[in-house]
Each structure stands twice: as C-alpha cells, then as structure tokens.
Structure 1
Amino acid sequence: MNRKASSKALPAMNRRQWLVRNSAALAGALGVGALANLTLGTRRAWAGDYKALVCVFLYGGNDGLNMVVPNDATRYGQYAAVRRGLALPQASLLPMSGINYGLHPALAGLAPAWASGDLAPVFNVGTLARPLTKSQFRALPESSPDKPANLFSHSDQQIEWETGSTSPLTRSGWGGRASAALGTVNPVISVAGSTRFGLTESVSPLVLPDTPGDVFGAYVLTPEAQQYAPFVARKDALNALYASGQDNDLAEAYATAQRNAFAVSERLGGLVAVEPGGAGAVAAIDAAFASLVGSDGEFTTGLAGQMYQIAKLIVANATVGGNKQMFFASLDGFDTHGNQVAGGAPTTGNHANLLRELGDALGAFYTAMHTLGLGPDVTAFTQSDFGRTFVPNNSLGTDHAWGNTQLVVGGAVNGGASYGTFPQLVLGGPDDVGVDNWELQGRWIPTTAVSQYAATLLGWFGASDAQIDTALPGLAAFGSNRRLAFL
C-alpha cells in the first residue's frame, strides 16, 4: 500500500517527504482518539510494566494446513494422500523439535524463534458463538445466532475475526474494545489502514503511514517546505479554520477531529519518517531488518516496512505514550484458489511467497525486540479470515473453509509446544462439516474460538477478567474454558 504522491513541483525535496492528502482524509485516518497527550521526544524508554500486542492479519484466508504440517508417519500420510499436488515433501519441513509438526520451509525466518522457545502454533481456531459438535452444527438453522453468520465469506469472516463476534454487524473491534476497557493512552495503532479491529463505538484507530519515510501530508512542514510560502499559508489557513468556533455539534466534532489529527501529525511526524540508516534510526532495528532492505534503500516487501514502523514505535514509546500499546499490520493475497504452488513444486509459488514475506518480516521484528531486551514485553500474533479446504481444487489451489492455524511469537510465549486441537484429517469425520460426497472437502469445525484466543492474549496484556468480558462479551458461552496456555 504505497500511497506516495508525486513531488515533481519540488524537485529539491526528497520524494518520500511528501504524501499529500487533503485535511479531511488526514482526520479520517487518524481518528478522534485520546491523542492530546502524545508527546514527541528523542529518548527511548519504556515503563517496567510495558507491554505491546501486535496483530498481523493475513487477508484472504491463509492455508494454515500447509503452514504447520503434522510430521508423524500416520498423520503425514493422511495429509499427503489428500493434499496431493499441494502436499509439502516431508523432508522439506522445518523441524519443530518437541512436537510432531513441521513448519513450511518458507517460514525459515521464524526458525530462531522456535529454537528459542518463543513461537507457538494454535490449531483449529475460528469464529464460534459457542462450542459446536458436528451434529449440533448440522442441526442449526442458518438464521441461528449460534451459527457464525455468512461462513466462508471473506468480508464477513474478516469482520467477525476482527470484532471477536459471530455477527458481521458488530461495529467495534475486540482490539478497540480492549483498549477502551483498559483506558490505554492511545487507541489501537494501525500501519495497515483503518480496520474494524481497532474501532470502538466512538474512537477510530490511530492510522500511521505504512512505509518508513512517509509523512502525514500537506499539514506537516519539513524544513524545506517551510521555505515555500504557499505551504506555510495553507497550514496557517487550516489552523485558523479549525480553531474558530463552529455553529453546530457535528461541525465542532469535525473541527476537534481535525485539531487532534494536526497535533498528532506534528508530534509523531518525525518518528514515523525515520528510515533505516537515517537520522534517529535505531541500530538494533536496522540490523534486524537489513536483509529486507534493497540496494535502493526501499523495503523489499510491504509487511517488512510495516513491522519496521511498529518496531520504531515500540522502542520510542516515551514519544508515543502509554505503557500498553496495541498495533495492527496486515498482509493481503491469501485467497489462493488457483496456482497456490508453482510448476508442481509445493515449496514454491504464491503461498510460499506469502509465507516467506510473513516469516521474514515477523522474524526480523522478533530479532529486533529480542536484541533490545523487549522480547518478553512484546507478543505478535496472526489472524486470518478462515482456513482453506483440506482437499485441493482442480486449479492447484484451495477454497474457503473454517478452522485454521495461527502463530504467536514473542519472549513471553510458552513455545516448544502446540495449543488447541489439531483436526482429525478424515474427510466426513467428526471435524469436517461435510456429510454428502460433494461437500467432503475438509472444512474443519473450529475447536477454539476467536474469543478464547483473544482472551489469552488480553490476559497476558494485563486485562482483568472483567475487562476481558467487556472486550469479548461472547466469551461467556465457553464457561470456565476461557483461555489457552500459550502465554
């Protein structure tokens, strides 16, 4: 999502210094949050109880069945027989010592995290209103509130994952509700646009540029721009416009949003613009991401740039403010209906390329946090629309399914183990929603709900049971089985 604007009118300026957007778009992106106490400073410090949660959403529905693969003889045999041309060769799997699973070879960037006990897979997670057996699921009418709405739909399931609800009509996200319940200084901070995950009933996520070197837009004046009279005049006019009293409540709310947006852009502009090797860069972060920066100084992948942005913000939390911060990043392209592999080689192709981008960026981020001594204080985790069918389609791809594997990475993770319940790899078996021949595809019924997964993360983050219940009202349906043990 590289939205840089042209700088042809100012040839003497660095093209990365100008991302010209109108002021209304700026306010909409930054939202109306508790932003006034963000301060810009130069020192790097963090509180003794500092913690950060980093969500990496894999849009399109990641094929978790090829991300973490059973490695014992019986289940690998079942896997290989059904996955056919998509099956990863057993010898290609990255060993996960201590458990009978292997990582996709494209995730080599995460191998150090596994070796250090800081990585865990969580199996068969999905949208659930309550625990469901196959017979219970089959007996439910489509309109039942106990059945997640619009299963297998990208847009609906993305919303349900981001909101921790089984209704796509839910407005606020579980990250946003948790931020509000905890009273964090900042709303959820996104480097991947404005998403439902960080939304509350009244506050939008704080959206920052996804690329190091970008700035907020026409309002932020660099030293070079301050010499250009039209830019100075425009900034002064905007200040005067939104400082004046408004005639009605809606107009005043809009003016307040603009003032907050301008304040944030002034205070954080210098931080988000820091590039690898530039003034203000952190050596440990630069070193961790060095292999992901090309000879032109640009990041080789979009997710690498996003994770670099988040790493800077965590290290500079004295500037960002607050001892509890939640971040959102994303990677798109996982809707692999066709050509999931290339040339019949399952270790290459579209899915392998996506997992390599994920593993390299998340691995670099993990290394940076570990080097800086922040490893135990920062936990990153994946989410995705849904899993993919166990049975491949005729286009060497996979179709929409339900339960899926997620990854959790960080120094506080109880690694060296797996969590959740891996599905029985039996078409038409107790974990497959299908009964008739045409629907025996391996769409696994989740055994862990999004709300249980999220509650585990929020409990580590410092949320009380009451705050977790506020953030995840659907959790009550799971009784005392509220959390897993991966943190």
Structure 2
Amino acid sequence: MTRAIPKSAALWKTSSGKCSMPCLERRSFSFARCFQLYVYVCPIYNTMNRRNFLKRASVFSLPAFRGGFEAAAFPSGLLRQLVNGESDKVLVLIDLNGGNDGLNTFVPLDSYDNLMRARPKLMVAQNKLLPMTDTIGLHPALHGIRQLYEQGKLCLVQGVAYPNQNRSHFRSADIWNTGVNADEYASTGWLGRYLDEEYPAYPDNYPNAEFTDPFAITMGRSISATCQGLHSNFSMAIIDTDDLGGLQTGVAPALPDDHYGRELGFLIETFKKTNAYATRVATAASVGASRVVYPDTTLAQQLKTVAKLISGGLQTKVYVLKLGGFDTHANQVEEGGATTGKHASLLKTLSDAVLAFQNDLAALELEKRVLGMTFSEFGRKIKSNAGLGTDHGTAAPMMVFGGCVNPGIIGHNPQIAASVSSEEGVAMQYDFKWVYGSVLRDWFEVEEEKIHALLTPDFQHIPLAGNCEGYAPGQGELQAKAYPNPFSAQLTLEVYNFEAQQIRAELYDVMGKRLHQFPTRPYSTGLHRLPLSGNHLPAGTYYLRVQAGNKVKTLRIVKA
C-alpha cells in the first residue's frame, strides 16, 4: 500500500527568521504578549510530527523568553536511573572556551629553563610562581586553586586531549561535546545520546508528579550541546539570573482544526512544560541560600546561583557554565609584565569564583554532594608567537574539584625540550573520554559496560572522585623509557609492568596525529622491551604514549 504524502506542510519560523523554500502562505498567531509565531506553508514533501518539530527546534533559534528560558527546556527524570536511582549528586562543568594555555597555568618547573627559551616573554618569573609541588608552580593569579589543592579538594589531570587532535575551535569543541573520536561525527551529545538510546519515548509526558525538575541547566544563552538528544535537548538555559520567570502563554487562542492547529497546539504545550520547569527553578532560587561573598564577575555570580538552586532543593543533576576568552593569540600577557594580561585576568576570575563556590558549598553543608570539572577544547603550542600570545595546540590540563575528589595529580609534567618546533604542542597523556567516563562511574555510579558503549570501547578508569572520607593513592607513575634518544633507525621502548595486564603503546607526531600503534596484548608482571623501527620516519620530534592499565606516561623522542 502506498501512503499519500502531502505536498505541503508547516514550517515554524520566527519574525526574524527565513524559510529555506518559497512560501505559499503565512498565518500569524499572537498568543503571548511578547511573542508572535508565524506559520508558513512551503512545498516540502513530509509532514511535521512532534519528533520532526523537536528536530527542527534544535536547529531553529527561537527567541529568548522573558526570564531567559529557551524552548528546548526538557527535564530528565530518567536521569535518576542513569545516576543510581535516588542519588542527589550534582556535577558542575566549566568550559574554558577558546583553548587554555596549560603551560602558563600549571608551570612544569623541571622544564622551566626550556620554556623560557620557547616563550621568553610569556613566562612568569620562577620566584613569583605559587608553589604547588616540587615540580609544579601555579600562576600567581591562582591563589584560590592553591587553597583548594592544599585543602585536598582538587585533582589535576595532566595532558588531556584525544588522538589525531583537531586544532579548529568548532570541530574540537564538537568532539568534546559529543564524546566521539576525531574521525567520527555525531549530532547528539554524549549524555543526550545515552538517554536517547535508553529511553526512546522521551520527552513525552514530562514533567510529571514524580519528576518535576530539569535534567540539566546551562548558565547562559545557549543550551548545552553535551545534552543534545536525537529529538530534543535535555537542558534548560538561564540567561537572567535575577529574573527566573517563564513565558506567559495566557489563554490559548482558538486553533484551527488542521495541520497548523495541531502543530501550534503542540508548541503551546511545549511552552507550558517550559513554564513548569521555570516555576520549579524560580521557587528553588527564592528559598535557596548563599553564605559567602562572591566576586563581582559573571562566572562567580552564576556559580552563586547554582549554589542557591542546589540549596533550594532543585534536583537538577548537571550545571554547565562557560568562561570565554582563552583563545589568546595576542596579548596573553602585557609587554614587560608576564603576571598581567588576558590570561592572568581569566585565571583569577576562574580561581576566585571556584574558591567562593566551594566555600559556599562547605558553609551550606553541600560540598559532598557537588563535583566540579573544567575542560577546554585544546591547549596551546609550546612556542609563543610574535603577538605576545600562543596559538592552537594539543593537550591541556583538566581540574576536578569538590569535597569528595581524590586529591592530587594524575599524570606527569609535559616534557619540554631545549629546542621545540613551531608546531609542537603538549603531548596527550589521557583521552578526555576517559575523564568523562570516570566521572560517570565515580560520581554517578554508571556501569562500566554502559560507559564503553557511550564513549569509547577502550575506556580506562581514572580514580577521580567518590571517596568522601579520604583517598589512599595506589602505585606511583608508570615506569617507562625509550633509548637511544635521539635515535636513527631502531628504538627500544622499555616498560615495567606492576601487574599482569595489557600494555598499549602509540607513536604521535608533534601535531597530535597517531602514526603507529604497537600490538596491544596482555603482558606479565616485570620488565618488557618493545622494538620500534624508525627507518620510515623523517627526522624530527615524536611522542611515545605508553599505557598500562590506567597508568599513562608520554615520552618525547627525537629521530636524528
């Protein structure tokens, strides 16, 4: 039987938008004092059902409503099943947008002299760095971060990136948001994808009496791409933190009994759902508390709002914030003053805001419920440019903070040679998908089998958080070396395996492209030597990334 497909269907369009096809007719509906919807008839060959509308709504930019809620504000009570039933734990993500210069944030003191050669005008004098460990100095703007580290509330993960690093802002941010490999593309975020696969009926019948709160909240104008599902986004965007109202739909107009009326009716119902969440958020904000003074910066005030919403009883599980400006091609520092400039200002904003937030959570007796994490789409090149700045690089550090974090440093300092190429970035140690997966496992108790399907089959757990009573670290860093270095034809990789487990080794160029992978197989406890023929490699600098279990070490090697 052949189904007749109508030759016209409704497309939604705002007064400032444009239809992608010639339109035959326009109908106007005014159902709110601040919003007017135009429905166009265009010659397309498919009908628009609820699923299709939601797909289109994720592409079209509907206007920001009074109070700042976007239309794609759907909750996920189903997240309770994702995060171990009645768990009340919260994750706060801070996007350091633009590509943070990790070498200027956590300075490797064991490579300080070589960094001075590579970026002489950017380096803070060693005696002005804040001590963190014997081999790491903090930028002097990071007093708050140092306090958290000294209090055992900070975990630093060194060298986070992904194989075959892409140095485009848009593409790399997309990879981080979707949680895929560099050669893969996805239209869904890593959290949204999981929820779509597990609960294909979503978002119908939400909110309801059992699940009243939004799954995620984004502080800003855009909903979070990490929460984008196939049919809808699971997050709500808050623009104005002082006015948490929703869109007033008033009395619904009489709707025509045709395709227009059905779709417009669905849109009005969507607004009503959004308003239901707006009411819950506004109530939590009104009864929530804050007990410390926050800096007068946008990030700090947004974190203050997050603390108030959590203390006010909102059951939202994920909050996403963004601090932009880290694309420091120029004026990263001021001429003649490495302690001042764009980057110093951004680091101070971040550090002071996070410290105030953590102190507030402690005062509210909430710090064991909340875990924070920073991320950035890439790091910067090792060498500075001619504009007192740095260009797009490879790996960057991530910070995980909170009252239940496993404190300390995961990974080793970047290896900086006396002479580096103009394209060389910090080498990858840990795949960012491992960090994501470890947060899901440690904090939300997601099963590892689901993490493999959600993020990457080669996921390795990193002990980031979950032990609120104190953390006892395991064995030290992985023992590995490569010789001779420099080499001409043959190189030997020597690895000591603390226990019987798989050893994985990969060769990368300075741009983060994977060139060779050693056979991955189980190895017994003890010392192992893996040969590498370098006859096919041109002269230059390379990185060997070695992994045994969840221990990782990256070695800088030179082909003569």
TM-score by length of 1: 0.71
1:392 aligns with 2:384: yes
1:337 Cα shift? 0.4
Deviations 1:417-459 (A, max 9, x none): 2113432112777xxxxxxxxx534313312111111011111
What is residue 228 of structure 1 aligned with on the other side? none
What is residue 222 of structure 1 aligned with on the other side? none
* Residue identity in the other structure for 2:242: G
| 8 A Cα contact 2:330 2:389, kept in partner | yes
Aligned runs of 1:6-21 on 2, under 5 Å?
none
What is residue 307 of structure 2 aligned with on the other side? 311
Q: Match for 1:264 among 266, 277, 280?
A: 277
* Residue identity in the other structure for 2:371: T
Q: CA 1:54 to 1:364, structure 2 compared with 1: closer, same or farther past 3 Å? A: same
- 2-side partners of 1:247 and 1:152: how far apart? 45
What is residue 84 of structure 1 aligned with on the other side? 120
1:153 aligns with 2:130: no
Aligned runs of 1:151-190 on 2, under 5 Å?
151-167=166-182, 169-177=185-193, 186-190=214-218
TM-score by length of 2: 0.63
- 2-side partners of 1:126 and 1:177: how far apart? 21
Q: CA 1:69 to 1:175, structure 2 compared with 1: closer, same or farther past 3 Å? A: farther
What is residue 339 of structure 1 aligned with on the other side? 331
1:332 Cα shift? 0.6
Q: Match for 2:242 among 210, 213, 228?
A: 213
1:53 aligns with 2:68: no
Q: Match for 2:157 among 122, 131, 156?
A: 122
* Residue identity in the other structure for 1:321: Q
- 2-side partners of 1:197 and 1:126: how far apart? 17
| 8 A Cα contact 1:387 1:402, kept in partner | yes
* Residue identity in the other structure for 1:93: L
What is residue 236 of structure 1 aligned with on the other side? 250
Deviations 1:270-320 (A, max 9, x none): 444x5xxxxx351xx241xx141xxxxxxx211112111211222223xx3
What is residue 315 of structure 2 aligned with on the other side? 321
What is residue 538 of structure 2 aligned with on the other side? none
The aligned length equals 386
* Residue identity in the other structure for 1:107: L
1:446 aligns with 2:437: no
- 1-side partners of 2:415 and 2:76: how far apart? 48
- 1-side partners of 2:414 and 2:138: how far apart? 17
1:418 aligns with 2:409: yes
Q: After the TM superposition, which of the residue ranges 403-412 and 78-87 deviates more from structure 2?
A: 78-87
- 2-side partners of 1:427 and 1:386: how far apart? 23
1:254 aligns with 2:267: yes
What is residue 23 of structure 2 aligned with on the other side? none
1:26 Cα shift? 5.1
What is residue 483 of structure 2 aligned with on the other side? none
1:100 Cα shift? 2.1
Aligned to 2:238, what secondary structure does the other structure show? coil
User: Highest relative contact order (Cα 8 Å, sep 6+), 1 or 2?
Assistant: 1
| 8 A Cα contact 1:58 1:332, kept in partner | yes
- 2-side partners of 1:118 and 1:163: how far apart? 28
1:245 Cα shift? 9.2
Deviations 1:208-232 (A, max 9, x none): 424431234552xxxxxxxxxxxxx
1:52 Cα shift? 0.9
| 8 A Cα contact 2:159 2:411, kept in partner | yes
What is residue 463 of structure 1 aligned with on the other side? 446
What is residue 96 of structure 1 aligned with on the other side? 132
Q: CA 1:65 to 1:253, structure 2 compared with 1: closer, same or farther past 3 Å? A: farther
Q: CA 1:55 to 1:77, structure 2 compared with 1: closer, same or farther past 3 Å? A: same
Higher strand share: 2
What is residue 353 of structure 2 aligned with on the other side? 361
Gaps of 5+ in 1: 1-18, 39-46, 129-146, 220-234, 275-279, 293-299, 430-438
What is residue 105 of structure 1 aligned with on the other side? 140
1:22 Cα shift? 6.8
1:51 Cα shift? 0.8
Aligned to 2:115, what secondary structure does the other structure show? helix
What is residue 330 of structure 1 aligned with on the other side? 322
- 1-side partners of 2:259 and 2:275: how far apart? 18
What is residue 485 of structure 1 aligned with on the other side? 463
| 8 A Cα contact 1:375 1:410, kept in partner | yes
| 8 A Cα contact 1:452 1:483, kept in partner | yes
What is residue 403 of structure 1 aligned with on the other side? 395
Structure number with greater Rg is 2
- 1-side partners of 2:121 and 2:154: how far apart? 28
Higher helix share: 1
- 2-side partners of 1:243 and 1:20: how far apart? 22
- 1-side partners of 2:216 and 2:275: how far apart? 18
Gaps of 5+ in 2: 1-32, 38-61, 80-84, 200-210, 466-560
| 8 A Cα contact 1:67 1:103, kept in partner | yes
| 8 A Cα contact 1:126 1:448, kept in partner | yes
1:105 Cα shift? 1.3
Q: CA 1:116 to 1:68, structure 2 compared with 1: closer, same or farther past 3 Å? A: same
Q: CA 1:372 to 1:32, structure 2 compared with 1: closer, same or farther past 3 Å? A: closer
Deviations 1:7-56 (A, max 9, x none): xxxxxxxxxxxx96778535882415246999xxxxxxxx9842111110
- 2-side partners of 1:458 and 1:35: how far apart? 16
Q: CA 1:332 to 1:403, structure 2 compared with 1: closer, same or farther past 3 Å? A: same
What is residue 12 of structure 1 aligned with on the other side? none
Q: CA 1:344 to 1:265, structure 2 compared with 1: closer, same or farther past 3 Å? A: same
- 1-side partners of 2:351 and 2:239: how far apart? 18
Aligned-residue sequence identity (percent) comes to 27
- 2-side partners of 1:425 and 1:241: how far apart? 70
* Residue identity in the other structure for 1:453: V
Deviations 1:384-429 (A, max 9, x none): 11101110000110000111111111112111x2113432112777
- 2-side partners of 1:62 and 1:244: how far apart? 54
